[in-house]
Chain A
Amino acid sequence: KAGVTQTPRYLIKTRGQQVTLSCSPISGHRSVSWYQQTPGQGLQFLFEYFSETQRNKGNFPGRFSGRQFSNSRSEMNVSTLELGDSALYLCASSLTGATNEKLFFGSGTQLSVL
Chain B
Amino acid sequence: AQSVSQHNHHVILSEAASLELGCNYSYGGTVNLFWYVQYPGQHLQLLLKYFSGDPLVKGIKGFEAEFIKSKFSFNLRKPSVQWSDTAEYFCAVISNSGYSTLTFGKGTMLLVSP
Contacts and interface: CB of A to CB of B under 8 A. Distances in A.
B100 A103 contact: yes
Interface in A56-114: 56, 58, 90, 92, 94, 97-103, 105-108
Nearest to A106: B43
Contacts of B94: 99
B32 interface: yes
Given A97-B99, A100-B32, A44 B42 contact: no
Interface stretch (B15-23, B67-75, B78-86, B103-111): B103-111
Contact of B100 (A4, A44, A92): A92
B96 interface: yes
Contact of B46 (A31, A48, A102): A102
Contacts of B43: 3-4, 90, 105-108
B105 A42 contact: yes
A45 B99 contact: no
Contacts of A43: 90, 92, 102, 104, 107
Interface in B17-76: 32, 36, 42-46, 49, 51
Most A CB within 10 A of own CB, among B90, B99, B104: B99
B44 A105 contact: yes
Size class of the contact patch on chain B: 20 to 34
A35 to B, nearest CB: 8
B98 A56 contact: yes
Interface in A29-63: 31, 33, 35, 41-45, 48, 50, 55-56, 58
A45 B102 contact: yes
A34 B77 CA distance: 28
Nearest to B34: A103
Most A CB within 10 A of own CB, among B46, B51, B90, B104: B104
23 contacts: A31-B100, A35-B104, A42-B105, A43-B90, A43-B102, A43-B104, A45-B103, A48-B100, A56-B101, A90-B43, A90-B44, A92-B44, A94-B100, A99-B32, A99-B94, A99-B95, A99-B96, A99-B98, A99-B100, A100-B51, A101-B100, A105-B45, A107-B42
